[in-house]
Amino acid sequence: MAPKVQASKEAKALAASNSSKGKKKKWSKGKMKEKVNNQVLFDQLNYDKMKSEVPKYKMITPSILADRLRINGSLARAAIKELLNEGAIRIVAKHSKQEIYTRATNTEA
């Protein structure tokens, strides 16, 4: 059997770049988050739902209201303020970034 002829470095590099392993990785465009279409004003149905169901939630935050009622954040904060003034909910923790409320019970914590 005849010995193989050694290919030059340039020939080896060219063969490696043309092989299937040498192809450049194609990056995906990335996953796009689905755009939510939240309401900016209450309709009567959503307002009644907020008045009846939200005071029964164990934990109430603007983000929870926005997610469950499909309203935007500023409307959720306004709804919480209204429920707080009525005494339907009470404050647990207030911070400049996050406010946590719970249903109003007889026990003071």
Read off the pTM.
Answer: 0.66
Instruction: Name which of 67, 62, 109, 95 is nearest 81 in CA terms.
Output: 62
From residue 94, how far is each of 2, 79, 90, 102 by CA, in Å?
84, 16, 11, 12
Polymer length in residues for the chain:
109
Helix then strand then coil, in percent of the chain rounded to 5, is 45, 15, 45
10-residue mean pLDDT profile of the chain (109 residues): values are 72 72 70 86 93 93 93 94 93 92 76
- φ/ψ of 101, rounded to 5, equals -125, 165
- φ/ψ of 3, rounded to 5, equals -65, 150
